[in-house]
Amino acid sequence: MESLLADLYKITLILLMSAMIACSDNQSNGPIDSSLPERVGLAESEKIDALIKILSSHSSKLGDPIFLRAFKEEKLLEIWVLPKGNSKYVKVRTYPICEASGESGPKLRQGDKQVPEGFYHIAVFNALSNFHLSLGINYPNKSDRYFVDSKIPGGDIYIHGSCVSIGCLAMTDDFIKEIYVLCDRARRNGQQKIPVHIFPFEFGSKAEMDLTLKNPLLKQRWSNLKEIDNYFVKYRKPAIWDVDSEGQYQLASN
């Protein structure tokens, strides 16, 4: 009888431990998914502890919604997250952009080596990239199509590793691992579109004043970008935007 009770006790303990493990697996900060592509799995295993620590200091966790905000002139890429229960995004990381070809101004055609400017989302997750890991944006978007060369608009615009760029935002391999893991976890946790806002410069900076004087034909377009970014600065959430009959960005109902 005592032996039977001991066996039942052991079985109960095993079942309880299994239930606890199952609960742990359902958390977005849970263990690495063994079905991930090898390169992504290695990036997660290398970066997950540091990312959990960074996010937890902002009351956030892996899998929370992500927003990317880039500035070409300053060569900076910001990562913002929306902690559960919050209405405002918080900035958790700022990465130096290792390389970005071209100059201020939008991308207009294939081969111009320009990084686009405007409002995009991540459309491609490439775990087998020639540039370590890469996140492709949906260029050309609705606004771009008013201005680009319709025959050769170009494409394949990515945030990627390897620190080389021909129209992309190139990061170091070390940084792209973190960025990819953050975005991939958000996607796997249900975020259907991860916004990526790319600006020619930080608005309100000396670069804005200098480059606007140098490029008067771009003043209106940049002013529209600024209006939508100002909404984010004020409310700490990406604005809903639309495109007018001339292809210019405009604030929509928010």
Domain span holding position 203: 35-236
Task: Indicate which residue of 23, 58, 132, 168 is catalytic.
Answer: 168
* CATH code of 119's domain: 2.40.440.10
8 A C-beta contact, residue 145 and residue 151: no
pLDDT in tens, 62-104: 999 999 999 999 999 999 999 999 999 999 999 999 999 999 9
Residue 168 bears catalytic tag: yes
Rounded Cα–Cα distance for residues 33 and 40 (Å): 10
Residue 229 lies in a domain: yes
Number of domains in the chain: 1
> Is 58 considered catalytic here?
no
pLDDT, tens only, 197-220: 999 999 999 999 999 999 999 999
In a domain, 26, yes or no: no
Residue 106 falls within a domain, yes or no? Answer: yes
Q: Is 191 within the bounds of a domain?
A: yes
Reply yes or no on whether the pLDDT at 46 is more than 60.
yes
Q: Which of 98, 132, 160, 183 is labelled catalytic?
A: 160
Inter-residue contact 137 to 144 (CB < 8 Å): no
> Considering the entire predicted model, what is its pTM?
0.86
Using DSSP's 3-state secondary structure scheme, residue 116 falls into coil
How does pLDDT run across 127-159, given as a tens digit for each residue?
999 999 999 999 999 999 999 999 999 999 999
